[in-house]
Structure 1
Amino acid sequence: MTAPGGSAEAGNRTGAGGREQEAGRPGGGAVPVEVLTIGRVGVDVYPLQVGVSLREVETFGKYLGGSPTNVAVAAARLGRSSAVITRTGADPFGAFVHDALRAYGVDDRHVTAVPGLPTPVTFCEIRPPDDFPLYFYRYPKAPDLEILPEELDLAAVAGAQLFWATATGLSAEPSRSAHLAAWRARGRAPYTVLDLDYRPAFWPDERAARERVRAVLGQVTVAVGNAEEAEVATGTREPHRAALALLEAGAELAVVKRGPDGVLGMTAGETVEVPPVAVEVVNGLGAGDAFGGALCHGLLAGWPLERTLRFANAAGAIVAGRLACAPAMPTVDEVLAVLGGGRPDRGPEDGR
């Protein structure tokens, strides 16, 4: 993306992170990345006290956040070149996003600032094993919903080996039009992934989300989500029927994450179910993003579907056993250790 309000004739731009970019051709025509994501970004502010309400929490940790951003981080931790298309506020938290992305090895050239809008902040409460309420502060509007179609680097979008978008990006304009433009540029090239990613706070109701998602399923090749998200997209919560509905709507691979019941993957010629990985849950919020990054890795590696889903499942379990999201994303060796019979370990940020 060029800088806000920029043009191809405007010369060099400097983004919120301070790095010069060639307007109209971010990165000066760099080699396309393997994994390119688009959409939500922000700062996660997580309590360092577990099992208590926010009114009682005394100290917090600050982390990079936003589902598609975390997927890019997860893919990078697994050795994939990755980048994210998103927007932040022109504020210190926006600068933090750039710093964090670079530290994790994620290309930030497509991250630009929106003057006048603050970088979003998200708080959560940590109540293991399955209660992690989220509080989104994305007011008056999140900058990542101000991604403009005319500022997309469509060559980068088309050239990425895997392009990952989320349903949240369809919830408001101009982000929705930018997503549609990106999918047109890809022309259903493999792999074009839609994370069903349903967050009730971002939509007027489930019906609106279902209509938007159903309208674009024919433009993607992979659809992935948990049981609730699959129900929002298809109208049925039964995993097999939901996966079949996603295929009938246009996806070539449907993946339904079922929590303690494992994962279901379905194509026109294959149905695979893999069991869950046992883990002592610390914070389940980043598990789906770790799963996503690992799914990208397996797809790009050309693995069989069962191997890909087992690998992704193990990656998700590792992060569920750690406090943070982005810093908790595992390496290949950590995932293979779990698949070999090891237990998911806790990361250093958990202090244990």
Structure 2
Amino acid sequence: MTHELLTIGRISVDIYPNDIGVGLEDVTSFGKYLGGSPSNVAVAAARHGRRTGVITRTGDDPFGQYLHRELEKFGVDDSFVSPVPGLQTPATFCAIQPPHDFPLYFYGRFPTAPDLQIKADDLDTDAIRNAGIFWSTVTGLCQEPSREAHIKAHEARPRTGLAEGQYTVLDLDYRPMFWASEEEAREQVARILPHVTVAIGNDQECSVAVGPGTPDEQADRLLDAGVEIAVVKLGPEGVMAKTRTERVVSAPVPVETVNGLGAGDSFGGAFVHGLLSGWPLAQVLDYANAAGAIVASRLSCADAMPTPAEVTSLLAERGRLVPGAVPGTPIPEGAAL
């Protein structure tokens, strides 16, 4: 099978509280979900009807079996997911204190995690080369052998322009607890950026990758490093995307936030769908913004990823242009464009 999206990197079991607005010490019950940013992005794109797969590793334990089952449930190819004997599948806890406080606590990732044991020699480079979009994160560069595997995977990708419709995406996804310093992370990002066509990150992540500055300055540095589309998330001001010939900004889609942790992954899966659909960049951003907002209004991440009908409905409700629709034309109920 040729994947429309193939991701590589982190996977975990997310343990999210059913009690909202309290610290973990006061939570009385939890729910269990598939987690890990690249895995969530694969789930999100699968919800939009895309053929997706993930390259990762789990512990050889019941939680690892659970993650295989969840990937299968969501329609994500798990044939590149293998166990690591002697390591446990990581679990990630969070407290949910809307609207802005969602601290994460990582268990089973130190000194290493199974998904950091992805090895270069085990990669299916043909599958990586042929995927419509290949998606990785900066976290995968934080440790060997995962770092070497990520470099090899990116070197296997064809270097194509936007017109060819094949993209290599780097989620700048910087998490300081996985790195010795920002300088170390910046050094590794610099190695991989020449192989990247799309880079996505918020202000802090872009600062780690290419240095501090305004969103436009950071986008320009990413473009100078070889990226074709630089996406800089602007927080409450929305998101900006910049190419060498175009600059577009998508305003935020306001919702009542329940859990903001999965919004970025939902954005990523919808962004992939928009790129593969060949939409104008402004419409890709609007669609991805709406998809992210929907997940922010829900409790979980993977289980909360929206369908195309849900995204187009929200866009229409907020007066935004639905991709593929003629301005002013009502959207049929249940439309999935």
Structure 1 residue aligned with 2:233? 257
SS at match of 1:273: strand
1:187-214 per-residue CA deviation (whole Å, 9 max, x = no partner) reads 3343000000001111111111111112
Moved over 6 A (4+): none
| Distance in 2 separating the partners of 1:305 and 1:140 | 40
Give the counterpart of 2:279 among 283, 286, 303.
Answer: 303
Give the counterpart of 1:48 among 10, 13, 18.
Answer: 18
Counterpart of 1:163, as a letter, is F
Structure 1 residue aligned with 2:30? 60
| Distance in 2 separating the partners of 1:57 and 1:188 | 49
TM-superposed deviation, 1:156: 0.5
TM-superposed deviation, 1:236: 1.6
Give the counterpart of 1:179 among 144, 150, 154.
Answer: 150
Paired residues for 1:1-352 under 5 Å: 31-137=1-107, 138-189=109-160, 190-341=166-317
TM-superposed deviation, 1:140: 3.6
SS at match of 2:27: coil
Q: Which ranges of structure 1 fall in alignment gaps of 5 or more residues?
A: 1-30, 344-352
The verdict on how the C-alpha distance between 1:61 and 1:342 changes in structure 2, with shifts beyond 3 A counting, is: farther
| Distance in 2 separating the partners of 1:327 and 1:200 | 27
Contact preservation (8 Å) 1:41, 1:69: yes
TM-superposed deviation, 1:256: 0.7
**TM-score by structure 2 length?**
0.91
Counterpart of 1:151, as a letter, is D
Contact preservation (8 Å) 1:117, 1:140: no
TM-superposed deviation, 1:237: 4.2
SS at match of 1:128: coil
Counterpart of 1:281, as a letter, is T
| Distance in 2 separating the partners of 1:126 and 1:188 | 41
| Distance in 1 separating the partners of 2:203 and 2:213 | 6
| Distance in 2 separating the partners of 1:158 and 1:202 | 28
SS at match of 1:209: helix
**TM-score by structure 1 length?**
0.88
Counterpart of 2:229, as a letter, is L
SS at match of 2:317: coil
Percent of matched pairs sharing the same residue: 60
TM-superposed deviation, 1:342: 5.4
Aligned residues: 313
| Distance in 2 separating the partners of 1:201 and 1:41 | 16
Counterpart of 1:122, as a letter, is T
Structure 2 residue aligned with 1:22? none
Counterpart of 1:304, as a letter, is P
